[in-house]
Amino acid sequence: MSPTSPISASPFISAATPTTLDIHTTTPAGLVALQSQLPAVQAAWLSSSGFAARPSGHMLLPAADGGLGAVVAIVDPTDPVWTLAALAESLPAGQYRLVAGGEIADVRSAALGWALAHYRFDRFKSAPRPTAQLLVDADVQAGVESLVAAISQVRDLVNMPPNEMGPAELADAVRALGSQHDAVVREWVGEELLAAGFNMIHTVGRAASRAPRLIELRWGDVNAPRLTLIGKGVCFDNGGVDIKGPEGMRWMKKDMGGAAHALALARLVMQAKLPVRLCLLVPAVENAISGDAMRPGDIVRTSAGLSVEIHNTDAEGRLILGDALTHAAADKPELVIDMATLTGAARIALGPELPALFSNDDATAAGLLQHADETSDPLWRMPLWRPYRRMLDSSFADMTNAATGGHAGAITAALYLERFAPAGAAWVHIDVFAWNDAARPGRPRGGEAQGLRALFSYLQARYGMGTAGA
């Protein structure tokens, strides 16, 4: 499955036309000064309308002939990416340009938000929405288009209904990406997982009618620094025998959001031609219930040499990631990043908009947080508090897959994964929600890319900008 782009018409134009309209940007404090510079009819209209100058608000101004003449937009300089998003969603279809000397200091960031505001997941709808297009320089457009495509792909993959986004379809998306960049893609499917030692992936996915698999993509110079990206690909999660309630299950099509992020980040790395040896790993399963489903109390022997007792069948993501992390070790990577919609505990601690970052390397974590701040794409570091490893102790195996007692769920999940992380590698785990519960300007309800821009910006800084950097 390779979803079509949800942005059917370009949100940008590269040259003005006689019908291109001006957008005057100002802050609430600057509205009076701007009003004094407008043509008399527009200034009078603004005064008589009772327009309240609040961030993200705008006013359409008339032309002398009664038509639409210009736009006044109130922007928030502290919100550089989304400052024009509400405007892009609200303007009538047409062509617009920013008036020089306004309050948009970072045109590239504002253009990114403008473009993302045009995202629609309309694969199953028939009425495309007309587009308001913005005049931007060619270098600005080139600088954001790859990010827009990658973020849109995350949203697309997460938004797909589960009947059309199973493990095989997720593999199709990886193969499509590989073919675009001359990468090598292989899979271990069904019983092949057992032969290869991927017992945890098989255990989680064997109950479903759609076969589990591990998908691997390799790209780049074999002599370059080795970067491994891993994404949790649980295409639907009903909780297994420890079944979720209806409310908890409703949006579990998004439980492959980590895989969507890893795939999009691999796309950016390859498109920018970063000088790395890239390995992308996506363990793809459906957590289901049948006579062959894993049970609480089952013990799984792993290729890492550890035995794991299943305490909770709804803690399945860390199981499949453990196999992928073990497989990653064979490459001796210098950096491993795994991304997963892993725990509700992370959402309780940080809410839906703030991904939790865990790392065994302070320098890597600090660099990621710096780039998160610079790109306005937040991450929040959480502790790998190793005394909590005792919460994963088992009386019958080396460890359990979930802590008892309900404490520190995000931390204990990360500590579980750390047991499988490749020795000698800087390892980063991102616990991401990958979803907007409610719409905000530029961020419609549904699948969302979180931390993706920060991660890519960090990789560019670490490995060089490449030859086609976004």
The band of 6, judged by pLDDT with boundaries at 50, 70 and 90, is low
- CATH fold label, 12-133: Leucine Aminopeptidase, subunit E; domain 1 (3.40.220)
Task: Note whether 354 and 430 are within 8 A (CB).
Answer: no
pLDDT value at residue 1: 43
- 244 is an active site residue: yes
- CATH fold label, 148-463: Aminopeptidase (3.40.630)
pLDDT value at residue 4: 43
Lowest mean pLDDT among 115-129, 229-243, 320-334: 115-129
Residue 231 has pLDDT above 60, yes or no: yes
The band of 404, judged by pLDDT with boundaries at 50, 70 and 90, is confident
**Of the residues 120, 244, 273, 440, which is catalytic?**
244
The band of 151, judged by pLDDT with boundaries at 50, 70 and 90, is very high
Distance separating alpha carbons of residues 232 and 336, to the nearest angstrom:
14
Query: For residue range 64-73, what is the model confidence (pLDDT) as tens digits?
Result: 888 999 999 9
Mean pLDDT across the chain, nearest whole number?
94
Report the candidate in 179, 177, 176, 200 with the shortest Cα–Cα distance to residue 188: 200
pLDDT value at residue 187: 98
- 253 is an active site residue: no
Boundaries of every domain in the chain: 12-133, 148-463
The band of 258, judged by pLDDT with boundaries at 50, 70 and 90, is very high
The whole model's pTM is what? 0.95
Q: In the chain, pLDDT over 90 holds for what percent of residues?
A: 90
pLDDT value at residue 125: 72
Q: In the chain, pLDDT over 70 holds for what percent of residues?
A: 96
Distance separating alpha carbons of residues 74 and 180, to the nearest angstrom:
41
Lowest mean pLDDT among 69-78, 325-334, 461-470: 461-470
**Nearest 5°: CA angle at 138, between 137 and 141?**
90
Task: Note whether 185 and 217 are within 8 A (CB).
Answer: yes
**Phi and psi dihedrals of 385, rounded to 5?**
-80, 95
**Of the residues 210, 267, 318, 419, which is catalytic?**
318
The band of 470, judged by pLDDT with boundaries at 50, 70 and 90, is very low
> How crowded is residue 369: how many other Cβ atoms within 10 Å of its Cβ?
18
pLDDT value at residue 440: 96
